[in-house]
C-alpha cells in the first residue's frame, strides 16, 4: 500500500444529475480512503441483477482539491481509481449518475437494493468478485458520516453511491446521497 491519504471532508457526490442538471460536480473524498497499490486487476463492469444494472466501469480521478470527478457520461459507472480495487482490502467506491435530463441513468434504481442482493464486479484480468449488500442508507449531502461510510471493518468492502432524495431545482442537484454498503 502506498503512503498517503486523500483530503478529509464531507462526501458531496458528483454523480448527481436530474432535470436541467449540469453534467457533473466534484465530491470530496474523505481521508479514511487511503491510497493503495495495485494488488488486484482494475474493475471493468458492474452487474447488479436485482435492479438490472450491467454497466461498464471507467476510472475516476481526483481534482487538485482532492474531489472525486463524476463520470462525464450518464451510461457508465465510475470507480475511484486512487482507492482500492473492488476485491482488494479496504473500501472500493463505485459511483454513477441517478438520472439525466433525458431520463434514468445507471444507478437510477440503486435505492431499491436490499440486504442480501448481490453485486458482481468484473475485472480486467477476466476474474470477478461478488459482494453482498448488507445496508442501504440515505444521507443529506451535508451530513454524510464519512467514518461510517468509509470504515472497512476489515477485508474487502464496496460502496455504491449516487444521488437521491428530493431534487433542488434552484441548485440543480439532489439534496441527498444513496449509499449501498456491501462486502
pTM metric for this prediction: 0.81
User: Which whole number is the average pLDDT over 128-146?
Assistant: 93
Degrees, nearest 5: CA angle 38-41-43? 120
Q: How far apart are CA 178 and CA 183, in angstroms?
A: 17
The average confidence (pLDDT) of the chain is 82
Query: Please, what are the domains in the chain?
Result: 26-182 (2.40.260.10)
Nine cell digits for residue 68: 472525486
**pLDDT recorded at residue 23:** 39
Residue 157, exposed/middle/buried by CB under 10 A (0-12, 13-18, 19+)?
buried
**30 phi and psi, to 5 degrees?**
-65, 155
* CA-wise closest residue to 13 among 114, 129, 110, 115: 110
Total length of the chain = 183
In the predicted model, is pLDDT for residue 135 greater than 60?
Answer: yes
C-alpha 135/C-alpha 23 separation (Å) is 28
Please choose, from the candidates 39, 136, 44, the residue with its C-alpha nearest in 3D space to the C-alpha of residue 89: 39
Rounded-to-integer distance, Cα 89 and Cα 141, Å = 27
- What is the tens place of the pLDDT at every residue in 2-19? 322 332 233 344 445 444
Instruction: Check pLDDT > 70 for residue 80.
Output: yes
pLDDT above 70: percentage of residues in the chain: 78
pLDDT for the residue 16: 56
Amino acid at each position: 500500500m502506498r503512503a498517503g491519504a486523500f483530503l478529509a471532508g464531507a462526501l458531496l457526490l458528483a454523480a448527481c444529475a436530474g432535470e436541467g442538471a449540469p453534467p457533473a460536480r466534484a465530491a470530496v473524498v474523505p481521508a479514511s480512503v487511503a491510497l493503495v497499490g495495485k494488488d488486484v486487476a482494475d474493475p471493468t463492469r458492474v452487474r447488479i441483477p436485482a435492479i438490472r444494472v450491467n454497466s461498464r466501469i471507467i476510472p475516476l480521478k481526483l481534482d487538485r482539491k482532492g474531489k472525486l470527478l463524476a463520470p462525464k457520461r450518464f451510461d457508465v459507472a465510475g470507480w475511484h481509481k486512487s482507492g482500492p480495487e473492488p476485491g482488494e482490502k479496504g473500501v472500493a467506491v463505485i459511483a454513477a449518475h441517478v438520472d439525466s435530463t433525458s431520463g434514468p441513468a445507471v444507478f437510477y434504481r440503486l435505492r431499491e437494493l436490499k440486504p442480501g442482493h448481490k453485486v458482481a464486479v468484473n475485472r480486467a484480468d477476466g476474474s470477478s468478485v461478488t459482494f453482498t449488500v448488507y445496508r442501504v442508507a440515505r444521507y443529506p449531502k451535508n451530513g454524510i458520516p464519512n467514518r461510517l461510510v468509509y470504515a472497512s471493518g476489515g477485508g474487502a468492502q464496496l460502496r455504491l453511491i449516487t444521488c437521491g432524495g428530493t431534487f433542488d431545482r434552484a441548485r440543480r442537484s439532489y439534496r441527498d446521497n444513496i449509499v449501498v454498503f456491501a462486502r
